[in-house]
């Protein structure tokens, strides 16, 4: 209120102004959809200049991906960037399916007018082909179940009652993920919120995908290959033996991943 009083009270609309400004931002240009390769390269880069990347907003450029490179694993990629302290906030140069996937993660789709014009003709053709070939595809086991293009209404949580098998991926965008069956090794669970597993957890579980440091993983029987909260992860090798096979919770304490018995 103090601020308002100092301002001339001429009219209500003067409480803000809408203006355009341009910023120079670092861009991460993806040349490959293999997030693990990106992780390896990025890790060494960040180590050299950790301050440079801390709290830096970045844009993910998809324009240089080879055609038919497969799906970009946005949840993993975003989790990775956040883990390094960056703030990924948008994508550019993606195809319609990639843009939809990015939007589902609440990333902005930046329109690059120059890029657009150049690719416009090709893009429309691609889009047509895309919509034809995509129609039956999204149910594929390799596509994260929650990440279907077209972004359905989000109830804020996701409940899975059948076993999550090796190779399947489940992503609960914007909420919690509850699973009341076994999660096999080789399966991957992702959620923006918490993850609850009421069966043996043998696969990977990544909670707080959108950077929520408060997210936790709860499970009845921890046998996971990897657990991660907001990009801070631990592989099975680093999970203490006494935590295996018992009910535990996984959470972040001062950015350190902790596993505690329940």
Partner 1 sequence: MARIIVITSGKGGVGKTTTSAALAMGLAQRGRRTAVIDFDVGLRNLDLIMGCERRVVFDFVNVINEEANLNQALIRDKRCDHLYVLPASQTRDKEALTKEGVGRVLDELAQTFDFIVCDSPAGIEHGATMAMYFADDAVVVTNPEVSSVRDSDRMLGILSSKSRRAEANEEPIREYLLLTRYDPQRVDSGEMLSVDDVQEILSLHLLGIVPESKAVLTSSNAGIPVILDRESDAGQAYADMVSRYLGEEVPHRFLHAEKKGFLSRLFRG
Task: Enumerate binding residues for partner 1 (CB under 8 A).
Answer: 136, 139-141, 145, 162-168, 182, 184-187, 200, 202
Nearer to partner 1, 8 or 136 (CB): 136
How near is the Cβ of 10 to partner 1 at its closest, in Å?
A: 59
How near is the Cβ of 93 to partner 1 at its closest, in Å?
A: 30
| Cα four-point dihedral sign 242, 247, 253, 257 | positive
Nearer to partner 1, 156 or 245 (CB): 245
Nearer to partner 1, 186 or 211 (CB): 186
Nearer to partner 1, 64 or 141 (CB): 141
Contact 164, 179 (CB under 8 A): yes
- Through-space distance between the first and last CA atoms of the chain, rounded to whole angstroms: 46
Angle 96-104/74-83 helices, nearest 10 degrees?
A: 50
Contact 119, 94 (CB under 8 A): no
Nearer to partner 1, 103 or 225 (CB): 225
Angstrom distance (rounded) from CA 159 to CA 3: 46
Helices (H), the chain: 2-6, 35-48, 50-53, 74-83, 96-104, 113-134
How near is the Cβ of 166 to partner 1 at its closest, in Å?
A: 4
């Amino acid at each position: 209120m103090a601020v308002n009083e100092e301002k001339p009270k001429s009219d209500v609309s003067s409480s803000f102004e809408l203006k355009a400004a341009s910023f120079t931002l670092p861009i991460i240009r993806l040349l490959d959809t293999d997030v693990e390769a990106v992780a390896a390269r990025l890790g060494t880069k960040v180590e050299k200049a950790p301050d440079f990347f801390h709290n830096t907003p970045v844009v993910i450029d998809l324009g240089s991906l080879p055609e038919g490179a497969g799906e970009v694993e946005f949840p993993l990629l975003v989790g990775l960037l956040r883990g390094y302290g960056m703030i990924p906030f948008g994508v550019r140069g993606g195809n319609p399916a990639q843009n939809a996937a990015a939007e589902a993660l609440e990333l902005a789709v930046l329109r690059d007018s120059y890029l657009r014009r150049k690719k416009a003709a090709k893009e429309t053709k691609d889009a047509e082909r895309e919509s034809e070939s995509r129609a039956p595809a999204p149910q594929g086991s390799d596509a994260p179940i929650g990440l279907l293009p077209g972004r359905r209404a989000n109830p804020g949580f996701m409940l899975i009652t059948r076993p999550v098998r090796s190779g399947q991926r489940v992503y609960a965008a914007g909420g919690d993920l509850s699973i009341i069956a076994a999660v096999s090794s080789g399966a991957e669970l992702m959620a923006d919120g918490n993850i609850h597993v009421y069966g043996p957890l043998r696969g990977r579980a990544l909670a707080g995908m959108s950077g929520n440091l408060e997210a936790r993983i709860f499970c009845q029987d921890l046998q996971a290959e990897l657990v991660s909260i907001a990009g801070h992860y631990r592989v099975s090798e680093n999970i203490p033996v006494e935590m295996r096979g018992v009910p535990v919770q996984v959470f972040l304490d001062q950015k350190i991943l902790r596993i505690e018995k329940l």
